[in-house]
Amino acid sequence: MVPPGSRPHAPDPASVTGKAPPIGEATDLLVIGAGPAGVSAALAAAGRGVPVTLVDENPIPLSAMGEEVPLHFGGRMGAVVANRNAMLEAVLEASPRLAEAVDAGIDVRLGTAAWGLFPRRLTTNWIGVHVAGLADADRAYLIGFKQVIVACGRRDMGLAFEGWERPGVMGASAAYRLAKSYGALEARTAVLLGAGTEALQIADALSEQGVRIAAIIEQAEIAGGPQKLLARLVGKGARVLTRHIIEQASGDSRGVTAVRVAPVDGLGRRTGQPLQSIECDTVLLGVGAVAAIELLEAGGCAVRFQPERGGHAPLLDGSQRTSLPYVYAAGDCAGIWPSKTLCEAVARREGAIAARAALEALGVRAEGAPEAPSTPDGPAADAALERLAWVRAAILQAPGDPQVCQCEEVTCADILSLRPPRYLGRPRAPGARESGGLAALEDVPPHPDAVKRLTRAGMGPCQGRRCREQIAALLALAAGRPLADVPLATYRPPVRPLRLDQLAGLAESAAMAQHWDSWFGMPTQWVPFWRVPPSYTVAARCTEGPEAAE
């Protein structure tokens, strides 16, 4: 742009140029998530002369758990989770390889959540390096990285029914996390919703820990997970009710005390046969395991609905590399399929593959023969069809109108009829178009973000983690389109809610403070129209004057 030979001009002082924050910490390889994939990635990269940093948000602060972040804990964490030191010990104990990682010289940071990946790229170029936003109990900070392996695991698809906001209704993975990593699951008798591989595996593990699985409820004709696991659970007294759906969770102030389950047909319709009541203190939502892609998606990695990877997952090459060449995904957040769920070695292998590629990108030659790429070996079931079937049976065919988005109290009917949020006062006569519901958006299927903007479904403090899959399924069903056609509601940093004073504590440059304006800092923009000169040139422009924008 600047003609050759001419003096380069000073950058716009009100722009981001020159205001990059001090990045207090830096690493070459950042690994996010210390499950099997992440630990294995970090260990594979250790000892090669490359600084490796491994972060994991566990132990998660009680306050976050109480807000169902990052998993749907359903208030079933024991009092002991308030004891941070005890929880740190529990987490270390639950994962012996973490100690190995520390011994291998890896910078291991527990209780440290990654809330944003901020790659340097064309339109976000001002920081100059790739950085990740991290936060522990006390502070938020930035760390520069060259390569990052995201191994954030999974969470649970939520499923609405009457009473699912009661304590005790929780994600299956959340229960597993509480039981396995913290030894702090407060559940005696559970009903499991869903009978796929992921659900049965967790139920099996929980029953080993003394949780009684009273019943397994599955809307499909058959329980899709491994029959061996199913038989073991049945052997311990679990009833299996296929072609059933939970219609209601009832309870008292401490939470669920029973669920009522209804028989349904292949379309999720109530058959009219009598409902059964099952006593329980916990409902495990195991209808779908969802790859925890929020960091990847918000960071700008290409993500697609890939049924063979269990839903939305990053697009990966054979070395677990995403569309951003310095970002890798490994383990469940790279996609979930039965053989990966059943055998931890798959996730570990993905971690090692990613580490090898990341090392090579850092100029470190890999040792040994490369591993074959990790590819889904065929899904046991079609994740899209299953999600649609669950949502049809539990929500669309429900006799009532379940609340799909708990944070913002948005029901199924609110979503389908595009009803303005409660704070606008109800009932009121809708405008002519508004009464047309979703169709009034003239976008088929509608974008979940468009529906969110108008109904607030998915807009709340849990950041949509409990409702987004249900909303997408509802939009697909309403439009009569495949689930994969519904765009993914965007994720945005911070992908973990951060206290204002915590986010505010990030260091910033002196230049930022020196030239901060609310909007563009351009004096000419705000000259009142009665004082505007008739023509404009750069040479004659006024550069003085108050800039604070309106």
Partners of 261 in beta bridges: 246, 276
Burial (0-12, 13-18, 19+ Cβ within 10 Å), 88: middle
Burial of 535 (0-12, 13-18, 19+ CB in 10 A): exposed
* Nearer residue to other proteins within complex by CB, 372 or 530: 530
231 versus 548: smaller Cβ distance to other proteins: 548
Is 305 within 8 Å of 488 (Cβ atoms)? yes
Give least dist CB 466 to other proteins, A.
14
Q: How many residues bind other proteins (CB under 8 A)?
A: 101
Residue 285, classed as helix, strand or coil, is strand
The CA distance from 317 to 325, in Å, is 10
Task: Determine which residue in the list 79, 85, 96, 123 makes contact with other proteins, applying CB under 8 A.
Answer: 123
CB of residue 293 to other proteins, shortest distance in Å = 15
Q: Does 439 sit near other proteins (CB under 8 A)? A: no
CB nearer to other proteins: pick between 87 and 407:
407
177, 456, 465, 466: residue in contact with other proteins (rule CB under 8 A): 456
Q: Is the dihedral of CA 511, 517, 521, 527 positive or negative?
A: negative
Q: What is the distance between the alpha carbons of residues 99 and 95, in angstroms, rounded to a whole number?
A: 8
Peptide bond preceding 427: is omega within 30 degrees of 0, i.e. cis? Answer: yes
Which of 79, 369, 372, 432 is in the footprint of other proteins by CB under 8 A? 432
User: Is 437 among the residues that bind other proteins (CB under 8 A)?
Assistant: no
Q: Which stretch binds other proteins (CB under 8 A): 24-32, 101-109, 116-124, 193-201?
A: 116-124
Selected binder of other proteins within 41, 71, 106, 131 (CB under 8 A)? 131
Binding-site member from 84, 93, 102, 124 for other proteins (CB under 8 A):
124
Residue 382 CB coordination number (10 Å): 13
| Distance in Å from the first CA to the final CA of the chain | 31
Q: Which of residues 244-303 bind other proteins (CB under 8 A)?
A: 298-300
454 interacts with other proteins by CB under 8 A:
yes
Selected from 13, 51, 75, 78, the binder of other proteins by CB under 8 A is 13
- Name the token pair of 452: 């969110």
**Interface positions, 470-509, toward other proteins (CB under 8 A):** 490, 492-494, 497-501, 503-506, 508
52-55 and 107-109 strand pairing: parallel
Segment 369 to 428, residues that bind other proteins, using CB under 8 A: 408, 420-421, 423-424
Question: Least distance in Å: CB of 427 to other proteins?
Answer: 14
228 binds other proteins (CB under 8 A): no
- Binding other proteins (rule: CB under 8 A), the pick from 103, 377, 382, 443 is 443
Task: Report 511-540 residues binding other proteins (CB under 8 A).
Answer: 512, 515-522, 524-530, 532, 534-539
DSSP code of residue 308: G
Specify the residue for token string 């047909």: 265
Note whether 246 and 261 are within 8 A (CB): yes
